[in-house]
Amino acid sequence: MAANLLSRRSFVADTATGLGAIALTHLLAQDKLLAKEIKTPVRPAIDPRQPNLPRKPHFAAKAKNLLVIFCSGACSQVDTWDYKPELIKRDGQPMPGSEKLVTFQGEQGSLVKSPYPFHPRGQCGKMTSDLLPLLGELADEMCFVHSLTGKTNTHGPGEMFMSTGFTLEGFPSMGAWVNYALGSENQDLPAFVAIPDPRGVPQASVNNWGPGFLPAVFQGVPFNAAQPIRNLARPAGISAEKDKASADFLRKLNEQHLEKFPDDTELAARISSYELAARMQLSVPEATDISQEPAHVLKMYGADDSENKLKAGFARNCILARRLIERGVRFVQLFNGAYAMGEGVGNWDGHKTLKAQYDIHGPILDQPAAALLKDLKQRGLLKDTLVVWCTEFGRMPTFQKGASGRDHNPVGFTAWLAGAGVKAPFTYGATDDFGYKSVENVATVHDFHATLLHLLGLDHQRLSFYHNGIERRLTDVHGKVIEGVLA
């Protein structure tokens, strides 16, 4: 047998077939026809008794916390961040190639320039509109992604797609995924807090911060500066001492009950949730007490604005967001705009009278959000916090026929990032000459989510949860990290 293995004939044959295999592999690799590496799932090890304990990321993270400013209603990119000289030049003309174009609410009219002039901002000279001048002044801190694309032109599914990666209900929000993967640095506050606009909730409501099929402990806890968590305060007739004694006694009973069923993870998680609620009776009132803030901070945010109470309410929510990040809350989702039936002024859905509505929304967002970004930086929090501004999709560069507003547009819109791990000032991707369709470095919402997870030290292809026979991910079976925006 040894003589056969070392024979000249077998040596020559093996060499010939081996070289052929190497050549074939090289050719397949050039044409990208080789099978892709299959990444094994990584599921965090979670103690059901302490499900919010901090957990290590998959690799070194650039950001520890994530703050999302979500403008519900589809804020128009061509009236805020996406400067298009050709749109100004061709104002009133048909958009080339758009003959008989019908979008969400019907047939489109002519191109219409923004009613808000654009000017260069910051040292970088980024062109942004006068709708949001204070945010525009912070352009040097921002990394703009001008080439996002979505899957739907309907608000509810669009919000869910941006918040969960799916247009259907029942999927975990990105905050729930982050909570599931990383836990929290503060065991006395929720790891994931959603802050609804003072005017109400977004159209997709709790789906924006729900757990989907993940354990319920990872869902967002919704409250804002004006409406603390319901049923949290102790009854007026019970003293703090009696309340603490009752909680201690209940804890002993729960521990004894759990000893009888040590393998019941659902029971352990439920007890953990009750204990967190008890701790939150002390931590949440302190965190939400905006009156602790000095007068100059309230003024900087606009929280003392007695003439614009909507702005003052959103400003208090922005201060709350900073206070939560300061206290180690992992994921904060701050909403600007609330669902309103018809053509109300609740959100950024500027179909019929865009300027009249945006004249209301712009001041509500601008000063408080700009102050939030500056405050995070001056307190040293921006180096560990990734701030994201986003909306569910964009707007058309045309006006709808018979209206003075823009229809829904999911094929080209803008988001920006600031803080930990991203290039700034920087611009990535582009829409066409009119701001209609993404044409350069086109990015999907799945790509956007993959990038956010990457900055938190998580591999979006490996962070998974086994559900109904499928390894589920925030990015479904799609997504790639937008490497170009990484610092």
- Taking only the tens place, the pLDDT of each residue in 452-474 is 999 999 999 999 999 999 999 99
- Indicate if the pLDDT at residue 344 is higher than 70: no
In angstroms, the CA 172 to CA 160 distance is 10
- From the list 171, 145, 34, 42, the residue with the least C-alpha distance to 443 is 145
- Angle at alpha carbon of residue 86, lines to 82 and 91, rounded to 5°: 100
Find the mean pLDDT for residues 288-308. 95
Residue 80: both structure tokens together? 């805020």
pLDDT, tens only, 44-100: 988 888 888 999 999 999 999 999 999 999 999 999 999 999 999 999 999 998 777
Q: For residues 55 and 44, is the Cβ–Cβ distance under 8 A?
A: yes
The DSSP 8-state label assigned to residue 125 in this structure reads T
What's the pTM? 0.88
pLDDT for 35: 54
pLDDT for 151: 96
- From the list 397, 396, 434, 391, the residue with the least C-alpha distance to 414 is 391
- Indicate if the pLDDT at residue 24 is higher than 80: no
The beta strands (E) that lie in 89-131 are given as: 102-103, 106-111, 118-121, 126-129
- Indicate if the pLDDT at residue 443 is higher than 60: yes
Find the mean pLDDT for residues 242-256. 82
pLDDT for 134: 98
pLDDT, tens only, 144-171: 999 999 999 999 999 999 999 999 999 9
The pLDDT confidence band at residue 369, using thresholds 50, 70 and 90, is very high
* 7 vs 256, more confident: 256
With a pLDDT cut of 90, the percent of the chain lying above it is: 69
- Indicate if the pLDDT at residue 3 is higher than 70: no
pLDDT for 107: 86
- Indicate if the pLDDT at residue 34 is higher than 90: no
CA distances from 328 to 46, 196, 208, 253, 465 (A): 19, 20, 21, 30, 25
What count of other Cβ atoms lies within 10 Å of the Cβ of residue 377?
17
What integer best gives the mean pLDDT of the chain?
90
pLDDT for 385: 98
pLDDT for 341: 57
pLDDT, tens only, 395-432: 999 999 889 999 999 999 999 999 999 999 999 999 99
- Indicate if the pLDDT at residue 32 is higher than 70: no
